[in-house]
A and B are shown apart, each in its own frame.
Chain A
Amino acid sequence: MAQDLTGGPGRRATPHPGRAARSSPHRHRSGAADPSHGTESGDPLTSGRKATASGPGSSERKMTPMRIRTLVLVTAATAILTGCTGKSESGGGDGATPRAGGTLTFATDTDPGCLDPHQSPAAAALLTGRGVVDSLVAQDPRTGDVVPWLAESWKTDERATTYTFTLRGDATFSDGAPVDGAAVKANLDRIVAPATKSLLAAGFLAGYAGTTVTADRTVEVRFSQPNAGFLQAATTAFLGIQSPGSFAAGPAATCRKIVGSGPFTVSDYVPQQRVTLARRTGYRWAPRTAAHQGDAFLEKVVLTIAPDNGVRSGSLRSRQVDAAGNVTPRDAVALGEAGFDVHRREQAGIAYSLFINGAKAPWTDAALRQAVAHAVDRAQVVKTLYQDQYARATSVLTPTTPGYRASETTTSAAEAKRLLDAAGWRAGSDGIRAKDGQRLTLRWTYVSPAREQRDLLAQLVQQQLRAVGVEVLLDPAPAGDVIRRQTTGDWQMGDISFLRADADVLRTVLQSSAGGRPPIVNDPTLAAALAEGAGTLDPEVRKTSYAQAQQRIAEQALAIPVYNPTYLLATGDQVRAATFDAQGLPQFYDTWLDH
């Protein structure tokens, strides 16, 4: 069913700081993608990296795989990342010298509601917050490596329960206060404080036992249980370091204005309308993952909130904005043809997939689910709805997810019909199959309002299944309703996509039975394979077990993958260095305007 963390109004960000995907910012000019960029998207299998990639200057860090594994699950934060992209070409590709100055107007689809990433789980809060708050460590969007930022070095004990950070010491918040050990402690303490009502960030600090300031520039973060995902999580703005001086006014105040040590400050937030960021002068502590050091190039960034897809792309086209985020694939093609730059970033995690509740008769029969999998024409879906801007899913995991193994079910209506015939379901007068007086029906519950044209997708798949004699009843419902039905197991067919750069996402999403909820997929063989993968950090074992898991899912049609969700950013040609951060969201620090 539809936990959908990838976008749309009111969407939440991934509970996953470590997602970083291959980004292939094809530059569409006159409708043609520059072929030279195709080679830059690394093969995820070969370039997959180990968890907690060893950053420079941190030779002491040792993380025992056995220790880490339990935790990865708890915090949903992993560091396995795949390789990615050249970024220079998306910035103009001409090696021009960046120019400072100017205002970037950026049309975004979602109102953050609350700007404070400590509190808000929304991706929109990350988009606005990343430029304003710095984090202890940074993550390289190209490699997934964790590198120094506010902390110049760090070490971890063997059990991953104590992290010691040494701060660089020269960084200051925009209100003048220094970024010192006390500030870090105040931040972490605040995130877990119940009064903060953190919906996501506190989850990254599972088992938080406290922070000790051991010296002015040194802090020790302790956990009562191993928390291997913490370092990864610490790279995100969710655990970004804000000025403790801003906390006094209470959580509601930081929802409106956050104060950090980043290259921008919040100058204005008008809910449902816009967020304005202003450049801060004297910024000298960019992480080495950034393309430059010193002040940001842009003087101002105005994020205009426009939930309407047509309005966002129309505004870009009529040059009312410089950039439009999350444009629809059709708009991306049209904008590319009209001379705008289109940057793509395929996301890691569970591909957008359909699920049939195997606990409900007659769908307990794997052959029936198989028939549906054969009948869903994924190529037609991505071509018709997404103009091939989103790739057809080739496994339940997207190719950018570590552990991905292609396990595609062939599209074949004939095979689908054969399976259904063999199972004894015969077409009635209206073309819908029936057996013993029971019609072959699936009620598909999905979240409405839908995004990425998933409502149209549902209608297309409905027709595809109708062609083989399976009736699909579409049942759009508000998110709360969908979740409630899922909790009670009262569903027949649903859809999910989930951002997280680790194959373990399969276990946490599909197998979870938290709160007494029946798992989405209930299959002992799959559960065994996933448990094996979760029980080790040995890359080879993980690779094998997740390959088995994906194989099992395809064989049993436990999930029917459809497409790989992709962030599409369109910019005018004056916008240079429009790149993505490790979270897969546009960043503004390196961006500049070439007028």
Chain B
Amino acid sequence: MSWIRRGDRGGIRSTMVRRRLFSAVTVLIGVVTVAFAVVHLIPGDPVQTMLGAGGAFVDPAQEAALRHELRLDGPLHEQYFAFLASAAQGDFGTSFQTGEPVTQMIAEAAPASLSLAGAALLLGALIGTGIAVLSRLTNSRLLASALAVLPVLAMSLPAYWVAALLLQFFSFRLGLVPALGGTGIRGLVLPALTMSLPTAGVVAQVLASGLRAAERESYVLMARAKGATRSRVVLRHMLRNTALPVITLTGTTVGSLLGAAVVTETIFGRPGLGRLIISALNAHDYPVIQGVAAVLGATMILISLLVDVLFTYLDPRVISTAVWR
């Protein structure tokens, strides 16, 4: 905005980032608290689950010893503050099931989830861009309306269903990709495709309307006047100018990606944070549930923080609203 001088803009930006950081920290504490609260509200008792499943007969002395061992015998508020203190140092305790440090378990599971989410984002962006560009380029009305529905469809399909169909067809019928052993690119294809669809839908829609809007921009008319082909105009000029907001917008789909990971990892039998939290929920493994929930929450906070900051660079108008807010 012309009425903000360059220097001012920088100052405002840093104020905004500071505020944003402060609120991120408060939110983070809230996230950790919610994780703690949820875990302790879940009915059923981890000690009885552990002992009962092993031998079916719970010896009261053994139970008390284990309860003490797991630090589940203190008053709730003490447990909470102890948890908060160690969580601040990145220590979420040790798993009830395996005795391993939760932080380590998360560190081991995270790469699988991250590569899956990353691959899904990339694939989604590619598919979405493909749909948007094609819908701009095509002369067929039928294809154009089909391409207009496609993104909505992609966002309406349940992940578990897509996964089941893909597995059935590509893995069991055609044997193209392995259903098991999710390492390597080949094992990543189906789960990433499953998870990419919502992102593809978002990208396709936003990009398509962006491209439509760009149709009347002067640089497009200019390029046309110079005799550039339609596909060249779309690919070289319009796409480049509409892509940036799309990239930041896909940030909003990361949350749904992490959610979908729970389902996708379960059905494809892939390791990862989603599978970790489901098995922890079933076993009442408090530290693991808390740790994974906190880490996922923190990731979301970080992403939204990055997106916000990035936006101030891409679209200076945001600064004014941010300050006002």
Q: Which residues of chain A have a CB within 8 Å of any CB of chain B? A: 3, 5, 9-12, 15, 76, 105, 107, 111, 113-114, 119, 121, 194, 197, 199-200, 203, 251-252, 255-256, 270-274, 302, 304-308, 310-311, 314-315, 317-321, 449, 478-481, 483-484, 487, 498, 508-509, 512, 514-517
Give CA–CA (A204, B268) in the complex, Å: 38
Give CA–CA (A515, B276) in the complex, Å: 32
Q: Which residue of B lies closest to A516 (CB)?
A: B60
- Find out whether the CB atom of B58 lies under 8 angstroms from the CB atom of A487: yes
Nearest chain A CB to B268's CB is how many angstroms away?
8
- Find out whether the CB atom of B179 lies under 8 angstroms from the CB atom of A199: no
Q: Which residue of A lies closest to B94 (CB)?
A: A252
List, in ascending order, chain B residues with CB within 8 A of A516's CB.
60
Nearest chain A CB to B134's CB is how many angstroms away?
33
List, in ascending order, chain B residues with CB within 8 A of A498's CB.
56
- Find out whether the CB atom of B98 lies under 8 angstroms from the CB atom of A114: yes
Q: Known A-B contacts: A311-B179, A514-B59. Give 11 more (CB < 8 A).
A: A113-B98, A119-B99, A200-B55, A255-B100, A272-B272, A274-B181, A311-B267, A314-B171, A319-B175, A479-B52, A483-B58
B279 sits at the interface (CB 8 A):
yes
B50 sits at the interface (CB 8 A):
yes
- Chain B 89-142 residues near chain A, CB threshold 8 A: 94, 97-101, 105, 108-109, 112
List, in ascending order, chain B residues with CB within 8 A of A483's CB.
48-49, 52-53, 58
The contact of A308 among B56, B183, B267, B271, by CB within 8 Å, is B267
10 pairs of residues in contact across A and B, judged by CB atoms under 8 Å = A10-B279, A199-B55, A252-B100, A270-B271, A306-B180, A308-B269, A318-B175, A320-B181, A515-B59, A515-B60
Give CA–CA (A306, B181) in the complex, Å: 9
- Find out whether the CB atom of B109 lies under 8 angstroms from the CB atom of A271: yes
- Find out whether the CB atom of B44 lies under 8 angstroms from the CB atom of A481: yes
- Find out whether the CB atom of B58 lies under 8 angstroms from the CB atom of A514: yes
- Chain B 176-190 residues near chain A, CB threshold 8 A: 178-183
Give CA–CA (A305, B268) in the complex, Å: 11
The contact of B179 among A5, A15, A114, A314, by CB within 8 Å, is A314
List, in ascending order, chain A residues with CB within 8 A of B268's CB.
311
Digit string of B232-252 for contact with A (CB within 8 Å is 1, else 0)? 000000000000000000000
Nearest chain A CB to B169's CB is how many angstroms away?
11
- Find out whether the CB atom of B45 lies under 8 angstroms from the CB atom of A484: yes
Interface size for chain B: under 10, 10 to 19, 20 to 34, or 35 or more residues? Answer: 35 or more
List, in ascending order, chain B residues with CB within 8 A of A517's CB.
57-58
Q: Which residue of A lies closest to B57 (CB)?
A: A514
Nearest chain B CB to A350's CB is how many angstroms away?
11
- Find out whether the CB atom of B49 lies under 8 angstroms from the CB atom of A480: yes
Q: Which residues of chain B have a CB within 8 Å of any CB of chain A? A: 43-46, 48-60, 63, 65, 69, 94, 97-101, 105, 108-109, 112, 167-168, 171-172, 175, 178-183, 266-272, 275-276, 279, 282-284
A15-B54, A449-B282 given; A305·B269 CB < 8 A? yes
List, in ascending order, chain A residues with CB within 8 A of B269's CB.
272, 305-308, 311
The contact of B55 among A113, A203, A319, by CB within 8 Å, is A203
- Find out whether the CB atom of B179 lies under 8 angstroms from the CB atom of A273: no
- Find out whether the CB atom of A314 lies under 8 angstroms from the CB atom of B167: yes
Nearest chain B CB to A172's CB is how many angstroms away?
28
Give CA–CA (A481, B284) in the complex, Å: 10
Which among B172, B269, B272 has the highest number of chain A CB atoms within 10 Å? B269
List, in ascending order, chain B residues with CB within 8 A of A449's CB.
282
Q: Which residue of A lies closest to B271 (CB)?
A: A272
- Find out whether the CB atom of B99 lies under 8 angstroms from the CB atom of A197: yes
- Find out whether the CB atom of B49 lies under 8 angstroms from the CB atom of A479: yes
List, in ascending order, chain B residues with CB within 8 A of A479's CB.
44, 49, 52-53, 282
List, in ascending order, chain B residues with CB within 8 A of A318's CB.
171-172, 175, 179
Give CA–CA (A318, B169) in the complex, Å: 11
List, in ascending order, chain B residues with CB within 8 A of A484's CB.
44-45, 48
Give CA–CA (A541, B145) in the complex, Å: 82
Give CA–CA (A509, B59) in the complex, Å: 14
- Find out whether the CB atom of A509 lies under 8 angstroms from the CB atom of B56: yes
Give CA–CA (A251, B109) in the complex, Å: 20
Q: Which residue of B lies closest to A304 (CB)?
A: B180
Nearest chain B CB to A169's CB is how many angstroms away?
34
- Find out whether the CB atom of A320 lies under 8 angstroms from the CB atom of B179: yes
- Find out whether the CB atom of B179 lies under 8 angstroms from the CB atom of A315: yes
List, in ascending order, chain A residues with CB within 8 A of B178's CB.
315, 320
Nearest chain B CB to A511's CB is how many angstroms away?
11
List, in ascending order, chain B residues with CB within 8 A of A271's CB.
98, 105, 108-109, 271
Nearest chain A CB to B226's CB is how many angstroms away?
54
- Find out whether the CB atom of A252 lies under 8 angstroms from the CB atom of B270: no
Q: Which residue of B lies closest to A15 (CB)?
A: B55
- Find out whether the CB atom of A512 lies under 8 angstroms from the CB atom of B171: no
- Find out whether the CB atom of A480 lies under 8 angstroms from the CB atom of B58: no
List, in ascending order, chain A residues with CB within 8 A of B54's CB.
12, 15, 121, 199-200
- Find out whether the CB atom of A272 lies under 8 angstroms from the CB atom of B100: no
- Find out whether the CB atom of A273 lies under 8 angstroms from the CB atom of B101: no
Nearest chain B CB to A311's CB is how many angstroms away?
5
- Find out whether the CB atom of B99 lies under 8 angstroms from the CB atom of A252: yes
List, in ascending order, chain B residues with CB within 8 A of A111's CB.
279
A272-B275, A514-B58 given; A199·B50 CB < 8 A? yes
Give CA–CA (A495, B309) in the complex, Å: 57
Nearest chain B CB to A484's CB is how many angstroms away?
6
- Find out whether the CB atom of A10 lies under 8 angstroms from the CB atom of B283: yes
